[in-house]
Amino acid sequence: MATETIDTGERFDPSAYDTFRFTHRSLDADGVVRLGYALDGGPTFEERFELPAGPRDESERERVEPLLSLLHWVAGVSYYKAAAPGRLEFDGGAPGPAAAALLRALYSEGLGEFAYRAGLSALPRPSFVEGPPHLASTPVGEPRSVLVPVGGGKDSIVALEIVRRCVERCELFSIGDPPPIARTVSVSGLPRALARRELDPLLLELNGRGALNGHVPVTAIVACCALLVASLRGADAVALANERSASEGNLEWDGVSVNHQFSKGLLAETLLADAAREAGGPLIFSVLRPASELAIARAFARLPDYHGAFTSCNAIFRIDPELRAASWCCDCPKCRFVYLILAPFLDPGSLEAIFGHDLLAQEDQVDGFALLSATGGHKPFECVGEEQESVAALRLLAEDPKWSSHPVVAALRERVLASVPADFGVPAEVLALADEHRIPPNLEPCVREVLGA
């Protein structure tokens, strides 16, 4: 991997750079992708993906070039944030209008949490020159062959079970093969396209020497890689597993809603779909968009074969192997939220078998659970649902004899339920499916079947 070597004793100064450049990209016949970046007058980077297969001939290579470009531009956000300079330059041609709109969102609101937590004075809003519209084919309206990215959590499991019921060919996709993903693939029995991603190690080195660091819109990167793989494999569409709750932000700052899940929200989905269309790529949409996390949990509870396979705790996916958890850490917002929304649909013994602990029986978990309803602060910067979803789950548990006497439920009945309006977090309303989505008509009946009551 070609990178610039910097004296390890040298301090990295983000303010020294005013331009971030997209320098080169390539995709070979073996499926190896190389994406080049540079901070002008400073370090250069090269990211690498290994796809299941590459283009069969030069004509196919030319056909997928716009999707390779899209991946190049979107994946660059990981390196851009090291200095967050005010300008972007594209050595291989500027993005068309739809791709430019996506990049403007990802390199600003998509970095909202990063900017807020890094103490920047404002959101990054880099300027760049937009290119002409690209000629693109019209994607198929009702997909018959669909690629479903899986991350080892409950959402992608529910998504794959919806899609497999509706289409002629359903194939899974993942970047990497951590144990929860491998187990999910095994239980599903479906074929899987496996890709690998390798960040330039120089970026990790710079993070330790003063580079700006923080959360990036990684779902958009995964989605762009999935689009490229889907196109190479002849799939009509990529079906994501992003729920309607993902569109809700964590807090207001610098005139925008800072959202940990920005690239999972409906706005990002729409912008990405437009960019994929501009690039002549497959359809892309979220098959779970009508549903709350609570409704998805209800559907997942009906899929017991996966209960021993999934893990939603992000500690298991940490980049540093020494910090990576083996299973549920049981002490983070994600673990608490998943436990909370599954509890109304499973008994205590079943949940304890999944997590290894009964979290609602542990009194020292009360504050953490309370924060999920924004009691005592803003919603945690994690992939957790809306505050009203947590309240709705608490309402269900408070009325359920299996759970009502658990210490955490009893404490939150007094702390949370007694303080919120009666019309906030009504379970029936939270569980109802919304009409705002981009799901193709041929998949809608299966969406209603799996996610409904």
The 10s digit of each residue's pLDDT in 67-114 is: 999 999 999 999 999 999 999 999 989 999 999 999 999 999 999 999
Give the CA count within 13 Å in the CB-facing half-sphere of 101: 15
Task: Identify whether residues 124 and 174 lie together within a single domain.
Answer: yes
d(CA 44, CA 39): 6
In whole angstroms, what is the distance from residue 127 CA to residue 132 CA? 16
Mark whether 207 and 332 lie in a shared domain: no
Q: How far apart are CA 286 and CA 271, in angstroms?
A: 13
Q: From the CB of residue 167, how many other CB atoms can be counted at a distance below 10 Å? A: 23
User: Given 247, 269, 286, which residue is the final one in a domain?
Assistant: 286
- Cα separation, 439 vs 443, whole angstroms: 7
Give me the helix-helix angle, 266-278 and 97-106, nearest 10°: 150
Which DSSP category does 174 fall into?
A: E
pLDDT in tens, 200-249: 999 999 999 999 999 999 999 999 999 999 999 999 999 999 999 888 88
| Same domain flag for 154 and 280 | yes
Mean pLDDT of the chain: 92
Q: Residue 145 phi/psi, 5° resolution?
A: -125, 120
The tokens describing 346, both together, are: 């499973």
pLDDT of 374 > 80? The answer is no
Asked whether the whole model's pTM tops 0.85, one would answer: yes
Q: Is residue 298 part of a domain?
A: no
Q: Which phi and psi (to 5°) does residue 251 adopt?
A: -165, 165
Interatomic CA distance for residues 224 and 276, integer angstroms: 8
pLDDT in tens, 104-144: 999 999 999 999 999 999 999 999 999 988 766 666 779 99
**Of 261, 334, 346, residue with least CA distance to 299:** 346
Tell me, yes or no, whether 436 lies in a domain.
no
Say if residues 385 and 153 touch (Cβ distance below 8 Å): no
How much is the pLDDT for 383? Answer: 67
DSSP letter assigned to residue 25: E
Confidence at 326, pLDDT banded by 50, 70, 90 = low
Do 81 and 225 reside in the same domain of the chain?
Answer: yes
Q: pLDDT tens, 175-194? A: 999 999 999 999 999 999 99
Q: Which of 270, 286, 302 lies at the terminal end of a domain, its last residue?
A: 286
* Cα gap 421→405, rounded to integer Å: 23
Q: Please state whether beta strands 87-90 and 145-149 pair in parallel, antiparallel, or not at all (unpaired).
A: unpaired
Domain-embedded: residue 331 = yes
Residue 4 included in any domain: no
Q: What's the structural domain count of the chain?
A: 2
- 323 pLDDT more than 90: no
**Domain identity same for 315 and 251:** no
Q: Which long-range contacts (CB under 8 A, 24 or more apart) does 422-425 make?
A: 424/388, 424/391, 425/373, 425/387, 425/388, 425/389, 425/390, 425/391, 425/392, 425/394, 425/395
Report how far residue 224's alpha carbon sits from residue 263's, in angstroms, rounded to the nearest whole number. Answer: 11
Do 260 and 319 have their domain in common? no
- If you average pLDDT over residues 444-448, what whole number do you get? 95
Percent of the residues in the chain that have a pLDDT greater than 70, as a whole number: 92
Confidence grade of residue 316 (pLDDT, cut at 50, 70, 90) = low
- Give the residue ranges of DSSP H helices in 124-260: 154-164, 179-188, 201-207, 218-232
| 333 and 256 part of one domain | no
Co-location of 246 and 154 in the same domain: yes
DSSP state at residue 432: S
Digit-coded pLDDT (tens) for 7-40: 556 899 999 999 999 999 999 999 999 999 999 9
245 falls within a domain: yes
Which of 236, 251, 286 is the endpoint of a domain?
A: 286
Domain match, 349 and 233 both: no
Q: Is pLDDT at 391 greater than 80 in this prediction?
A: yes
pLDDT at 387 (0 to 100): 87
- Are residues 273 and 345 located together in one domain of the fold? no
Q: Average of pLDDT values for 345-359?
A: 95
User: Is there a single domain that holds both residue 339 and residue 269?
Assistant: no
Strand residues in 347-428 grouped as ranges (E): none
- In-domain check, residue 261: yes
pLDDT tens for 274-284 read 999 999 999 99
Beta bridge partners of 453: none
Q: How far apart are CA 108 and CA 262, in angstroms?
A: 10
In-domain check, residue 5: no
332 and 200 in a common domain: no
Range of the domain at 255: 14-133+143-286
pLDDT at 322 over 80: no
* 442 in a structural domain: no
Please tell me whether residue 165 adopts helix, strand or coil conformation.
coil
